């Protein structure tokens, strides 16, 4: 954890990080002077009736209070600066790692997002805490013990007995409560899950009249949560009364033992009072230290989660490109095998050739490996066997931007960024108004864009949630058309549009991309029927290859697909 | 699908009036009232512990003045022993007090959660359509937690705080008004200083929150759009944008938090100042012989100072926490107050039906948007009726009205000639089984999931249903078979398998009327064939409505209704509609035309 912090704290922030606790020592020192000075006023000033001595020492106390706040405040501001700068650098680094990460088995987006947002904030708070609390409380504790031993050595043994007892007690309570808190957290998760499912499944619950059944289940989990929360809280409830009691007993012992010493004139009143004051300071510091350790352990979890993201940073870079941008737009897969685990390949010994200007259709079930072909073609992953060529050049010898400008993809999940319609459409390449309109027309998005207030400048909310699924898909297709790339890939990009619109998009696209390499991936046979070549995937293997007419003749698998999707007997020729 | 636009509710900055507050407090009290006895005990214990603390602290000073200074060793030891006894009692009482509080608070929040959930279950479908799941979840979790905190900490601390402040205040005033005034200085200064800081920083804090919001949005967008960022080589641009927002946030946060990081040291200083002033003023009074102050009194005040500023600062801070939890309580109670679905007065029990369904001039609007216009249809017992048409045409709405999921606005829906709105909802929904496009599977065992169709079904019946739904084959291949516990959202199963399970669930109900919403996206061809035969088997001997996307289903239907823009525009069989060369024929040809 310390390593993460050190790696992301630079220049001024680094100075602040070390300076803040040092300055904090100043505040602690000032705080610790007060009881001693006070006892001197009582013992020397009052006993001798020396008003000048009283005023002089009171002025010292005042000075220490004022200097203390200067130390405290500047330490706070410096620590604050260090923690925020660390957070900034860490956040930026994590996002960078997340964006360039090309590891196929990487972390889920949702996980990444929480780590870059919440966990970094946790780390930030941690640094703030380290620079302030982690120095202040233990130092006050130690300093208090030292000072009280100096002021009143005769009473010091009281502390040496009470402190270890308290520490042992704390350890026992913490050890006992940790498993109970874990159990409680599990109960919280279960209750949350039941709630979430009941919201998501509201329609199913109503349709099957399951209200009472679900309520019963919830009540069970709910009372389980109640019990485990109570048990967890009860484990720590003993903490504060016992600490309080130990302190108070210590005070009583100090008074009685110290009092008897004072009566025999070994120590003074002022010393007893100062000692009791230090004891109160020590206990407060003790409680705070416990609190800080608890939050510290929480921050460690965050640090581990952040480290896991940093570990995703690729160790080796892509080798420098050796080939020029190819002029042709043919696609070759030669014996391509790919998988996250060696034993379970997602693509297995794949061979196909798409000639320049041809249309390729890829059909297959979910999980058959269709989208993985595109990921490999666009060099999202490098860890595959075999060779992939674009225009006859091995893509491993090409620069990433070259590959990406050669191949434009409309992905399956039609994600839009918040901003404007125009901003989204020109994400891949700038385009003139005419180009935008043309692309929108092909994707059948022109009509609804024209109806939007501000048309191409209409606002797009986060995740494009102010557009329907079908509209998002059509914007997504337009976005892929605008760069006018040599190779266009549509990865199941029309699954949410209705059949009529689908047909319109299909025919306009056929016109616009005639004689240009285009890849259509779909679960629906109708979308690929017209392609020059269709490949059928099942479980990562190529099971059939050819035109629609050939495949209907040759492939049982394809024929059955046609049969189930288009109904019996007509073989798709309506 | 048209009704599923979620309208996120505005959850920030809910203004609360004083009248509402009183009502909210009254309702929280209503929950607490059942634990009146425990609360009374807490009340007594608190008074005892507070008084004991005040007296104990005072005795410290007395010991110094009366016994140590006057060399009375025997009395010193006696008084110290009794102090030890008092502290012991006080700690034991504190322990019991806290234990009771924990129990009461947890019981109460469990009680509130139970009530909220019970009502949530009975809310009309429209509520779920128009409310963000996230918002409802945060009411059920965060807001209930806030109430719990308020009960557990705020309540007790506030109470103890007030008693201590009053008790100690009185005790101090009796000892020395001058030193009391000095002691009070510290919390008062703290209060005004933090108020001042809060005012100055409010704007900066808002800027910080806004910057944080922007930052999180950008992180979310670029991480979920990672593939796009890579494909379109946008990472440099994205990082540049992000770094700008990131720096803006850091700047705003630094400004906001620097102010607040000064509050701690400042409080520490006012405490130290009060410490100095008590010592100095006390010592000077003793030397000049004013006000009857003794060393013991100075000592007592120095201890009071530590014990006094804590509670008084607490009281001031807690007022903020309390405000927050009252807002939370209101959000929770408003969920309990939502009107649940209710049957019309005089709704009748109906347990059997032949399955004749009629829609008679049915119109329906969602808010002001018309969804259905004058829909008429008749389905006789055992018929299969297919509904086809573009997405958003109103097909699903028609079926939602059949199960009275939404209130009917115009026209009538009749089941065996009886208006469905006059049938008890629970009965109606048991007569009509709905298989949604994506039926929800719960994270329980497969067996339990199927049994949800009819809760009293035996294990054998579950297996029979699974067999008829073609699901038995894949279930028995799972390591735990029917006992396999599904992960959340059943993500371990394929889409087709999930559909088979929901068909099995529909099989087990045995209801005479069936509504089937076919999934649009095709699934893998083997499972797809299984799903189709299972659906066909499910329709046997039932009046079935199918929102159809598959030709095979459509061709088998006794009637096809073509829906567009909320209206039935064509009606007939597959052959008659094709012959008509109308909308249906166009739809059909566009989908299956291969020779462009």
What is the distance between the alpha carbons of residues B75 and B596, in angstroms, rounded to a whole number?
112
CB pairs under 8 A between A and B: 429
Residues A421/A482, Cβ–Cβ less than 8 Å: no
- For residue B2, tell me if it sits in a domain: no
- pLDDT of amino acid A227: 93
Average pLDDT value over all residues in chain A: 83
| Strand (E) or helix (H) holding B480 | none
What is the distance between the alpha carbons of residues A149 and B510, in angstroms, rounded to a whole number?
84
pLDDT surpassing 50 at residue B13: no
Nearest-neighbour CA in chain A from B117: distance (Å): 7
The minimal CB distance from A401 to the residues B215, B233, B552 is found for: B233
pLDDT surpassing 80 at residue A209: yes
**pLDDT > 90 in chain B, percent:** 11
Shared domain check, B209 and B145: no
The minimal CB distance from B589 to the residues A219, A244, A574 is found for: A574
Mean pLDDT, residues B25-39: 87
The minimal CB distance from A209 to the residues B95, B280, B429 is found for: B429
**Is B272 close to A72, i.e. CB distance below 8 A?**
no
What CATH number did the domain enclosing B85 receive? 1.20.1560.10
- For residue B280, tell me if it sits in a domain: yes
For B475-490, write each residue's pLDDT tens digit.
Answer: 988 888 899 888 776 7
For strands A331-338 and A347-354, give the pairing: antiparallel
What is the distance between the alpha carbons of residues A181 and A68, in angstroms, rounded to a whole number?
38
For B74-116, write each residue's pLDDT tens digit.
Answer: 888 888 999 999 999 999 998 998 899 889 888 988 999 999 9
Provide the 3-class DSSP secondary structure of residue A62. Answer: helix
For B167-209, write each residue's pLDDT tens digit.
Answer: 888 888 888 888 888 888 887 888 788 788 778 777 888 888 8
Q: Which of residues 39 through 58 in chain B touch A, CB cutoff 8 A?
A: 56
Cα dist. B499→A116, B494, B508 in Å? 36, 9, 14
For B337-383, write each residue's pLDDT tens digit.
Answer: 888 888 888 888 888 888 889 999 999 887 667 788 888 989 998 89
Most distant CA pair in chain A: distance in Å? 118
- For residue B349, tell me if it sits in a domain: no
pLDDT surpassing 70 at residue B530: yes
- For residue B305, tell me if it sits in a domain: no
- pLDDT of amino acid A100: 77
Output phi, psi for A351, to 5 deg. -135, 120
Provide the 3-class DSSP secondary structure of residue A155. Answer: coil
What is the distance between the alpha carbons of residues A464 and A467, in angstroms, rounded to a whole number?
6
Q: Angle A452-A456-A458 (CA atoms, 0-180°, nearest 5)?
A: 50
Residue A165 CB burial class (10 angstroms; 0-12, 13-18, ≥19): exposed
Q: Which of residues 441 through 470 in chain B touch A, CB cutoff 8 A?
A: 442-443, 452-453, 455
What CATH class has A1-149+292-314? mainly alpha
- pLDDT of amino acid B458: 92
A75 vs B contacts (CB less than 8 Å): 265
For A374-407, write each residue's pLDDT tens digit.
Answer: 888 888 887 788 889 988 888 888 888 888 888 8
Higher pLDDT, A346 or A15: A15
Those residues whose C-beta lies under 8 Å from the C-beta of residue A331, and which sit 6 or more positions away, are A352, A353, A354, A360, A377, A388, A389, A390, A487, A517, A519
Shared domain check, B72 and B131: yes
Query: What is the phi-psi region of residue A202: left when phi exceeds 0, alpha when psi lies from -120 to 50, beta otherwise?
Result: alpha
Buried b (16+ CB within 10 A) or exposed e, B79-91: bbeebbebbeebb
Structure tokens at A47: 């006993």
The minimal CB distance from A27 to the residues B265, B442, B520 is found for: B265
- pLDDT of amino acid A70: 92
For A26-64, write each residue's pLDDT tens digit.
Answer: 999 998 898 888 888 888 888 788 888 888 999 999 999
pLDDT surpassing 90 at residue B460: yes
Provide the 3-class DSSP secondary structure of residue A407. Answer: strand
- For residue B351, tell me if it sits in a domain: no
- pLDDT of amino acid B17: 57
For B544-555, write each residue's pLDDT tens digit.
Answer: 998 887 767 788
- pLDDT of amino acid A574: 32
The DSSP symbol for A341 reads B
**Whose structure tokens read 């069936």?**
B514
**Is B276 close to A411, i.e. CB distance below 8 A?**
no
The minimal CB distance from A269 to the residues B295, B391, B436 is found for: B295
| Strand (E) or helix (H) holding B510 | none
CB of B98 within 8 Å of a chain A CB? The answer is yes
Q: How confident is the model at residue B7 (pLDDT cuts 50, 70, 90)?
A: very low
Residues of chain A with CATH 3.40.50.300: 331-566
- For residue B9, tell me if it sits in a domain: no
For A435-488, write each residue's pLDDT tens digit.
Answer: 888 888 888 888 888 888 888 888 887 777 778 777 888 888 888 888 888 899
Q: Angle A275-A281-A282 (CA atoms, 0-180°, nearest 5)?
A: 85
Provide the 3-class DSSP secondary structure of residue B112. Answer: helix
Shared domain check, B131 and B38: yes
Shared domain check, B419 and B547: yes
Nearest-neighbour CA in chain B from A335: distance (Å): 24
Residues A317/A104, Cβ–Cβ less than 8 Å: no
Buried b (16+ CB within 10 A) or exposed e, A398-437: bbbebbbbbbbbbbbebbbbbbbbbebbbbbeebeeebbb
Structure tokens at B530: 């299984």
**Is B120 close to A87, i.e. CB distance below 8 A?**
no
What CATH number did the domain enclosing B393 receive? 3.40.50.300
**Is B107 close to A199, i.e. CB distance below 8 A?**
no
Query: For chain A, percent helix, then strand, then coil, each to nearest 5?
Result: 65, 10, 25
For A84-113, write each residue's pLDDT tens digit.
Answer: 999 999 998 888 888 877 666 667 777 788
Q: Which of residues 543 through 562 in chain B touch A, CB cutoff 8 A?
A: 550-552, 554-555
A382-386: list long-range contacts, CB under 8 Å, 24+ apart: A382/A102, A382/A318, A383/A104, A383/A338, A384/A336, A384/A337, A384/A338, A384/A347, A385/A335, A385/A336, A385/A337, A385/A338, A386/A333, A386/A334, A386/A335, A386/A336, A386/A337, A386/A349, A386/A350
Shared domain check, B21 and B116: yes
- Number of separate domains in chain B: 3
Q: How confident is the model at residue B19 (pLDDT cuts 50, 70, 90)?
A: low
The minimal CB distance from B521 to the residues A84, A523, A573 is found for: A523
Residues B76/B68, Cβ–Cβ less than 8 Å: yes
Alpha helix (H) residue ranges in A311-351: none
For B564-596, write each residue's pLDDT tens digit.
Answer: 878 888 889 888 888 888 888 877 765 554 333
**Is B84 close to A202, i.e. CB distance below 8 A?**
no
For A291-305, write each residue's pLDDT tens digit.
Answer: 777 777 767 777 888
**Is A234 close to B88, i.e. CB distance below 8 A?**
no
Residues of chain A with CATH 1.20.1560.10: 1-149+292-314
What is the distance between the alpha carbons of residues B335 and B135, in angstroms, rounded to a whole number?
11
Shared domain check, B190 and B157: no
pLDDT surpassing 90 at residue A67: yes
User: If you measure CA to CA, which chain A residue comes closest to B424?
Assistant: A209
Shared domain check, B130 and B73: yes
Q: How confident is the model at residue B8 (pLDDT cuts 50, 70, 90)?
A: very low
**pLDDT > 70 in chain A, percent:** 94
Mean pLDDT, residues B257-272: 84
Shared domain check, B537 and B509: yes
For B35-68, write each residue's pLDDT tens digit.
Answer: 889 889 988 998 898 888 888 888 888 888 888 8
The minimal CB distance from B122 to the residues A211, A230, A255 is found for: A211
Nearest-neighbour CA in chain A from B19: distance (Å): 31
Higher pLDDT, B323 or A96: A96
Cα dist. B27→A297, A375, B32, B112, B329 in Å? 38, 58, 9, 11, 9
A252 vs B contacts (CB less than 8 Å): 80, 83-84, 87
Provide the 3-class DSSP secondary structure of residue B466. Answer: helix
A233 vs B contacts (CB less than 8 Å): 102, 106, 152
Determine the CATH number of domain A331-566: 3.40.50.300
User: If you measure CA to CA, which chain A residue comes closest to B552?
Assistant: A567
Mutate one of A87, A130, A252 to test the B interface: name it (highest B CB count within 10 A). Answer: A252
**Is A564 close to B306, i.e. CB distance below 8 A?**
no
Shared domain check, B183 and B170: no
pLDDT surpassing 80 at residue B154: no
- For residue B300, tell me if it sits in a domain: no
Mean pLDDT, residues A430-434: 83
Secondary structure of B558-584 as H, E, C letters: CEEEEEECCEEEEEECHHHHHHHCCHH
B118 vs A contacts (CB less than 8 Å): 215
For A168-198, write each residue's pLDDT tens digit.
Answer: 988 888 888 888 888 888 888 888 888 888 8
**Is A415 close to B403, i.e. CB distance below 8 A?**
no
CB of B103 within 8 Å of a chain A CB? The answer is yes
| β-sheet bridge partners, residue B410 | B363
- pLDDT of amino acid B5: 31
**Is A55 close to B246, i.e. CB distance below 8 A?**
no
pLDDT surpassing 90 at residue A223: yes
For strands A347-354 and B384-388, give the pairing: unpaired
| Strand (E) or helix (H) holding A9 | none
pLDDT surpassing 60 at residue A568: no
For strands A384-390 and A359-364, give the pairing: unpaired
For A233-285, write each residue's pLDDT tens digit.
Answer: 888 888 888 888 888 888 888 888 888 888 888 888 888 888 888 888 888 88
- pLDDT of amino acid B450: 92
- For residue B441, tell me if it sits in a domain: yes
Shared domain check, B480 and B402: yes
Shared domain check, B129 and B38: yes
For B115-141, write each residue's pLDDT tens digit.
Answer: 999 888 888 888 887 777 777 877 888
Output phi, psi for A384, to 5 deg. -135, 160
Shared domain check, B318 and B260: no
Complex prediction ipTM: 0.79
User: If you measure CA to CA, which chain B residue comes closest to A508?
Assistant: B596
| β-sheet bridge partners, residue B515 | B434, B545
Range of the domain at B236: 177-292
- pLDDT of amino acid A228: 92
């Amino acid at each position: 954890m310390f390593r993460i912090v050190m790696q992301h704290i630079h220049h001024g922030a680094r100075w602040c990080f070390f300076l803040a606790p040092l300055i904090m020592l100043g505040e602690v020192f000032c705080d610790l002077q007060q009881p001693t000075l006070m006892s001197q006023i009582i013992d020397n000033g009052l006993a001798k009736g020396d008003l000048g001595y009283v005023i002089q020492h009171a002025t010292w106390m005042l000075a220490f209070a004022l200097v203390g706040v200067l130390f405290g405040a500047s330490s706070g501001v410096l620590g604050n600066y260090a923690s925020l700068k660390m957070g900034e650098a860490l956040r930026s680094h994590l996002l960078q790692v997340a964006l360039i990460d090309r590891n196929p088995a990487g972390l889920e987006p949702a996980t990444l997002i929480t780590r870059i947002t919440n966990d970094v904030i946790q780390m930030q708070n941690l640094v703030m805490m380290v620079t302030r609390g982690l120095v202040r409380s233990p130092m006050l504790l130690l300093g208090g013990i030292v000072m009280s031993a100096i002021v009143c050595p005769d009473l010091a043994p009281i502390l040496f007995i009470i402190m270890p007892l308290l520490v042992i007690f704390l350890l026992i309570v913490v050890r006992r409560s940790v498993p109970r808190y874990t159990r409680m957290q599990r109960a919280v998760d279960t209750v949350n899950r039941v709630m979430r499912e009941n919201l998501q499944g509201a329609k199913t619950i109503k349709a099957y009249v399951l209200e009472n059944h679900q309520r019963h289940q919830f009540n069970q989990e709910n009372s389980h949560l109640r019990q485990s929360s109570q048990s967890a809280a009860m484990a720590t409830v003993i903490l504060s009364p016992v600490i309080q009691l130990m302190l108070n007993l210590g005070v009583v012992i100090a008074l009685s033992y110290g009092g008897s010493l004072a009566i025999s004139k070994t120590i003074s009143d002022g010393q007893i009072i100062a000692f009791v004051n230090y004891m109160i300071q020590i206990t407060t510091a003790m409680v705070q230290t416990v609190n800080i350790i608890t939050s510290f352990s929480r921050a460690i979890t965050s640090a581990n989660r952040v480290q896991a993201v940093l570990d995703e940073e690729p160790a080796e870079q892509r080798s420098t490109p050796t080939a020029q941008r190819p002029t042709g737009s043919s696609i070759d897969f030669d014996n391509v095998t790919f998988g996250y685990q060696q034993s379970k390949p997602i693509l297995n010994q794949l061979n196909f050739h798409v000639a320049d200007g041809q249309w390729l259709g890829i059909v297959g079930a979910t999980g058959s490996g269709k989208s993985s072909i595109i990921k490999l073609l666009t060099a999202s992953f490098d860890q595959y066997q075999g060779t992939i060529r674009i225009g006859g050049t091995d893509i491993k010898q090409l620069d990433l931007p070259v590959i990406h400008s050669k191949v434009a993809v409309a992905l399956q999940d039609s994600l839009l960024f918040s901003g404007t319609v125009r901003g989204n459409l020109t994400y891949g390449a700038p385009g003139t108004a005419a180009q935008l309109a043309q692309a929108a027309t092909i994707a059948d998005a022109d009509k609804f864009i024209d109806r939007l207030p501000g048309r191409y400048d209409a606002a797009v909310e986060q995740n494009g949630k102010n557009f329907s699924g079908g509209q998002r898909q059509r914007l997504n297709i337009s976005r892929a058309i605008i760069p006018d790339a040599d190779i266009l890939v549509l990865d199941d990009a029309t699954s949410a549009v209705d059949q009529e619109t689908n047909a319109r998009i299909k025919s306009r696209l056929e016109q616009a991309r005639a004689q240009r390499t285009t890849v259509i991936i779909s679960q629906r046979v109708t979308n690929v029927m017209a392609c020059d070549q269709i490949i059928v995937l099942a479980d990562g293997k190529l099971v059939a290859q050819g035109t629609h007419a050939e495949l209907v003749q040759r492939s049982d698998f394809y024929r059955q697909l046609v049969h189930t999707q288009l109904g019996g007997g007509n073989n798709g020729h309506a | 699908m048209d009704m599923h636009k979620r309208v996120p509710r505005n959850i920030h900055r809910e203004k609360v009036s004083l009248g509402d507050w009183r009502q909210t407090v009254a309702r929280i009290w209503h929950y607490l009232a059942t634990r009146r006895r425990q609360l009374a005990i807490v009340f007594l214990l608190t008074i005892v512990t507070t008084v004991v603390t005040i007296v104990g602290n005072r005795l410290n000073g007395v010991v110094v003045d009366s016994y140590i200074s006057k060399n009375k060793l025997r009395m010193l030891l006696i008084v110290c022993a009794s102090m030890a006894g008092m502290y012991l009692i006080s700690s034991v009482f504190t322990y019991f007090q806290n234990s009771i509080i924990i129990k009461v608070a947890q019981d109460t929040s469990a009680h509130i959660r139970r009530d909220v959930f019970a009502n949530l279950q009975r809310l009309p479908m429209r509520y779920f359509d128009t409310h963000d799941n996230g918002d409802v979840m945060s009411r059920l979790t965060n807001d209930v937690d806030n109430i719990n905190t308020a009960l557990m900490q705020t309540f007790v601390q506030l109470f103890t705080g007030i008693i201590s402040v009053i008790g100690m205040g009185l005790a101090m005033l009796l000892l020395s008004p001058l030193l009391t005034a000095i002691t009070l200085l510290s919390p008062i200064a703290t209060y005004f200083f933090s108020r001042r800081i809060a005012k100055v920083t409010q704007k900066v804090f808002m800027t910080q929150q806004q910057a944080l919001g922007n930052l999180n949005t950008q992180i979310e967008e670029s991480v979920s759009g990672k593939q796009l960022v890579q494909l379109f080589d946008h990472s440099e641009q994205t990082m540049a944008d992000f770094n700008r927002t990131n720096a803006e946030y850091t700047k705003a946060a630094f400004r906001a938090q620097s102010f607040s990081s000064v509050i701690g040291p400042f409080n520490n200083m006012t405490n130290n100042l009060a410490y100095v002033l008590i010592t100095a003023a006390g010592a000077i009074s003793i030397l000049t012989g004013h006000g009857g102050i003794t060393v013991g009194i100075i000592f007592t005040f120095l201890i009071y100072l530590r014990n006094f500023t804590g509670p008084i600062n607490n009281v001031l801070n807690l007022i903020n926490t309390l405000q927050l939890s009252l807002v939370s309580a209101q959000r929770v109670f408003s969920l309990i107050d939502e009107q649940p679905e209710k049957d019309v007065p005089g709704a009748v029990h109906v347990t059997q039906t032949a399955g004749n369904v009629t829609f008679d001039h049915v119109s329906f609007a969602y808010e002001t948007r018309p969804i259905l216009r004058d829909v008429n249809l008749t389905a006789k017992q055992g018929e299969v009726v297919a509904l086809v048409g573009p997405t958003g045409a109103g097909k699903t709405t028609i079926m939602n009205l059949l199960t009275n999921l939404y209130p009917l606005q115009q026209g009538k829906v009749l089941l065996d000639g009886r208006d469905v709105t006059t049938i008890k909802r629970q009965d109606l929904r048991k007569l009509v089984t709905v298989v949604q496009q994506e039926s929800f599977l719960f994270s329980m065992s497969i067996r339990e999931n199927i049994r949800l169709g009819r809760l009293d079904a035996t294990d054998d019946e579950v297996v029979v249903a699974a067999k008829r739904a073609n699901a038995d084959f894949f279930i028995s291949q799972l390591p735990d078979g029917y006992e396999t516990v599904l992960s959340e959202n059943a993500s371990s199963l394929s889409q087709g398998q999930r559909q088979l399970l929901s068909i099995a669930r529909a099989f087990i109900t045995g209801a005479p009327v069936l509504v089937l919403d076919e999934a649009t996206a095709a699934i893998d061809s083997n499972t797809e064939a299984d799903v189709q035969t299972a659906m066909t088997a499910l329709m046997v001997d039932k009046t079935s409505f199918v929102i159809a996307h598959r030709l095979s289903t459509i061709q088998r239907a006794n009637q096809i209704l073509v829906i567009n823009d909320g209206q039935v525009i064509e009606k007939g069989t597959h052959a008659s509609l094709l012959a008509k060369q109308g909308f249906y024929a166009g739809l059909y040809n566009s989908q299956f035309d291969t020779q462009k």
